[in-house]
Structure formats: structure tokens, C-alpha cells
Structure 1
Amino acid sequence: MLEIVDATGLPALTDETITSRERLLESLEAVRERGTRSMTRSTKRSFVPSLRS
């Protein structure tokens, strides 16, 4: 992922877009620390692909 970020940059698409590599890494670390504990049950289901065919 960082190779892509370094090659293409992080162009701003909105006022809230993360545009620096450092801010991206900080944000990813915060998500890692927080995990899914704040997600609702229905939200978790939408992020987990179905194993049924």
C-alpha cells in the first residue's frame, strides 16, 4: 500500500481526505487499536463477506 501511496500521492477529493502519508499511517493505527468494538452487529456483517455460494 505504501508503495502505491508513494507513487501516486494522496490527492484531496474532499475537505476530509487524508493527503499525507503520516496522517494515513496515524489513522490506520487508530483503526487497528480501536478494532471493531465500536461497530454494530449489522455493520460488522456488511464488512464480512459471505462464505456461502
Structure 2
Amino acid sequence: MVLFASLLSLVIIKKTSKNLKKLLQAVYTNKKTTCIFIKFTTTICFYFYGIIEFIG
């Protein structure tokens, strides 16, 4: 089940990688978006950690 969660996260990462490149460029140019980006990534990390803990 943990393997399934990691595969699911890999699929999501692959789908968002194109958008992340654009997002990273925006973050690099604007400091206000950097805070939003940090909050966004930490939320995703906690979300996947919660899924893995719930399944495992």
C-alpha cells in the first residue's frame, strides 16, 4: 500500500513538473510568490505523509 502511495505521488509529480518549471520561474522573479510556493510545497508534503501514514 505504501508502494501504491509512492506511485501515485510520482504520477502527480510528473503531471505537475511542467507547471512547476513555470512556477519556479515565477518564484525566482517574485519574492511574494516564494512564500506561497513554500506553503504550497509543505502542504503537499504533509498531505502525502498523511496518506502514507494512513495506508501504512
Q: Give the TM-score normalised by the residue count of structure 1.
A: 0.36
Q: Give the TM-score normalised by the residue count of structure 2.
A: 0.34
| Larger fraction in helix | 2
